[in-house]
Copies of this chain bind each other. A is one copy, B any other.
Amino acid sequence: MIVDQLRAIVGEAHALTGDAIEPRYLTDAAGGRSGKPALLVRPADTAQLADVVANCARAGRAIAIQGGRTGMCHGATPQDDEIILSLERLNRIEGIDAKAGTMIVGAGVILQSAQEAAAEAGWRLAVDIGARGSCTIGGMIATNAGGHQVMRQGMMRDQVLGLEVVLADGTVLSSMNQMLKNNAGYDLKHLFIGSEGTLGIVTRAVLRLRPPAIGRQTALCGLLDYDAVIAMLNRVGRALPGQVSAFELMWRDFFEAAGAIAAGGMPFAVSYDYQILIEVEAADDAPFVGILSELLDAGIVADAIIAQSDREVAQLWSLRDAIGPLVGSMTIVEPFDVSAPIARIGPLVTHLRAALLDAIPRCRPYFFGHIADGNLHLALDLPTDADRTVAEALVYNAVRDAAGSVSAEHGIGLLKRGWLGHSRTVEEIALMRTLRRTMDPAGVLNPGRVVETLTPGR
């Protein structure tokens, strides 16, 4: 019956069942684990979407909300009997205010389309992640996506001025604020940013735009110890405030593997325990070159290559981006995305490498990260699937002991729910559950994601 109701709302062509549901709707970037969904619906607009949700709430039917399905934690992966709700048709760029630097977009707009539209209007949408060609603005808001530019421009949360959200009972909540400052009561948008669709479905957004880059300098530096990494971060942050746009740390294990497969090959004659790929946005490169030579003179940086052309910039970035092919070559990959206070990350990695090799002798760990944000990535190549359990416990226990987070960027979804208590207190999780229960008493929105729901939809 619910199938007929929803079909009547969105039309035959956009209410699909069984084999008519293409495989791409059945998983996310983490792969696997799909159940058998009851239905796929693709509403044309907010009104249809709200109607779909209201009907699901009345029928007590669980919804799996989908943007671009580029998540890493099975948040969008449909489970048995769930109704897939795809936002792909809410893909209109409604307008850009070139005076104020704001844009209004539907949740289904692809990041790259939004970036290009902003650029055409003389502005920049300052979040960027590898999945830009397929991830959606709505999904990025729901998961508070991060990426390369966070240290300078913040996460997705910092790009959102206003939202339109469909609540669990089908109510359309319009909170399309366009101002940087609005202290008129609670700032409700923050409830929906990063809560992975469990408190409401983002359907439209007002985004803040930033001016385009006025120039860019890129360098690769080799450093001998982690204290030098912190010293360099603080020195460039102070000398070039608001201008450092990337500060990517690659530990030796990652860097040597990357150098072996990257287009540009290995740039240094030797490799160092720490490599930093740094990018600065400034009109003039003299201050950046000055700081680098000062850091070399002080012995903080042992070696440095400043890119002299777009080709050299691409070569340096190909090392960092080698994570793609590197992961592709692995037997069994466990991609960790954690964070910790910056000063603790160096010792954490040293400990983890030793502990992992001790517990799983044939594993191969590769460490890298957006270190200015306290964000550590570990791509772990495992000999057998059974090693996952050992590795996860080992990594997440160490992260907990370092007062870190088991999820820096990727969210919790279904995959990391068991580890939430490692980074959040009992009281925090209790309050998350209270909010979840209050705002979605029937448990229809992405049930089981983030925190378990006590009254899940059928």
Contact = CB atoms under 8 A, between A and B. Distances in A.
A373 B99 contact: no
A177 interface: yes
A407 B178 CA distance: 14
A149 to B, nearest CB: 12
A155 interface: yes
Nearest to A399: B184
A265 interface: no
Interface string A351-391: 00000000000000000001011110000000000000000
A187 interface: yes
A412 B183 contact: yes
Contacts of A407: 182-184
Contacts of A143: 183
A423 B184 contact: yes
A26 interface: no
Contact of A173 (B230, B243, B431, B450): B431
A214 B150 CA distance: 22
A82 interface: no
A185 B238 contact: no
A109 to B, nearest CB: 21
Nearest to A151: B180
A372 B100 CA distance: 9
B374 A179 contact: yes
A214 B241 CA distance: 8
Interface residues of A, number: 91
Given A185-B428, A190-B187, A429-B185, A180 B374 contact: yes
Interface string A171-205: 11111011111111111101101110001000000
Interface in A313-330: none
Interface stretch (A10-18, A253-261, A335-343): A335-343
Interface stretch (A38-46, A111-119, A302-310, A432-440): A432-440
Interface string A22-39: 000000000000000000
Interface string A140-157: 000110100011101101
B242 A183 contact: no
Contact of A242 (B102, B152, B188): B152
Interface in A226-245: 230, 234, 237-239, 241-243
Given A175-B425, A191-B191, A427-B171, A405 B182 contact: yes
A415 interface: no
A451 interface: yes
A185 B427 CA distance: 13
Given A211-B241, A241-B214, A182 B423 contact: yes
A410 interface: yes
- Among A178, A214, A420, A435, find the residue whose CB has the most chain B CB atoms closer than 10 A: A178
A434 B97 CA distance: 34
8 contacts: A100-B341, A171-B427, A173-B431, A179-B405, A183-B194, A186-B199, A211-B234, A241-B243
Interface of A: 97, 99-102, 143-144, 146, 150-152, 154-155, 157-158, 167, 171-175, 177-188, 190-191, 193-195, 199, 210-214, 230, 234, 237-239, 241-243, 281, 283, 287, 339-343, 370, 372-375, 403-412, 416, 420, 423-425, 427-429, 431-432, 434-435, 438-439, 450-451
